[in-house]
Chain A
Amino acid sequence: MPDIFKAEKVTTHQDHHAKQEKPHHKIKPKEGKAVGSFLQHTKSGHALSSFYYFPENVNFETKESEEKIILLLRKHFITNVPWIFVLSLMIVAPLLLTFFPVLSFLPESFEKLAILGWYLITTAYFLESFLTWFFNVNIITDERIVDIDFYNLIYKEVSDTTIERVQDVTYKMGGVIRTVFNYGDVLIQTAAEVPEFEFEAVPKPDRVVSILQQMRIEEEQEKIEGRVR
């Protein structure tokens, strides 16, 4: 063919730029997942905290080996004030016997044992109140929301749902005490068998909602990228 029909190859700026780009590769699904990639991995809190962000040395019964705990929540510490007040009254109550000797009809040995018995009951009251506050927790992991409730001595309830089943998240904060100490209720509507999770009297409910929202965004991102575990 005559040379006039052959087009000279002209290198354009776009072609030059294309050659300099790295070859495009298919995004492979990653094993595992980026845990809370939108979230700051800064631990905040301790074992007695009501708001423990990225807690260390925390484990629960149904936790998977690769699952990462993002947030551990309990009722705000201020909710313990009523029983602490009652407890302090119970501790000092026997001192009133010096002013109001209601047990004076009993022999001294009976009186002392009655006081010891009173302190036994006081110890039981403290134990039950503290254990109820300490072990009733709400946990947000990178995969699930877990609600652990101990209703009494021998009855516990553990509920969980995956983040992707969360449909609506609402928080309520009202009243002087709750506003001053910044705690409230977070209600989570799910598409699971347990239709609603309620985090009662948790600190920083706005922050909890924000974290849940970020987890939901990350779940959506993982679905799109094919990084679902």
Chain B
Amino acid sequence: MEVSSFLGTTFFSILKAFALFGFGLYILFALVVIRQVQLMTRTLEVGLEWLVKLISIGHLVFAVFVFILAVIAL
């Protein structure tokens, strides 16, 4: 019982580590998306740049929020 409990705890610890690593990588991806949007809006301006930038920043904020939540809740 103790072994299975230990293995269960170890399993979830590893799962938590993977989850945090995945969410951390995702934050990097969100930063790349912001950079991509910057390049795109520099190449072409059609008047909706503020909206596209807002969505990309909102996406980054969401990613950071999920990462922090994972650190606290897992």
CA distance A137 to B32 in the complex (A): 22
Interface size band for A: 20 to 34
1/0 contact string of B17-46 vs chain A (CB within 8 Å): 001001100100100110011011011111
Contact A131 B48 (CB under 8 A): no
B contacts with A: majority SS: helix
- Nearest CB in chain A to that of B51: its residue: A47
1/0 contact string of A67-98 vs chain B (CB within 8 Å): 00000100000000000000000000000000
Residues of A near B3 (CB, < 8 A) are none
* Selected contact of B45 from candidates A58, A112, A116, CB within 8 Å: A58
Contact B36 A153 (CB under 8 A): yes
A contacts with B: majority SS: mixed
- Chain A residues in contact with chain B, CB under 8 A? 47-48, 55-61, 72, 107, 109-110, 112-113, 116-117, 120, 123-124, 127-128, 131, 134-135, 137, 148, 150, 153-154, 156, 158
- Chain B residues in contact with chain A, CB under 8 A? 12, 15, 19, 22-23, 26, 29, 32-33, 36-37, 39-40, 42-48, 52, 55-56, 59, 62-63, 66, 69-70, 73-74
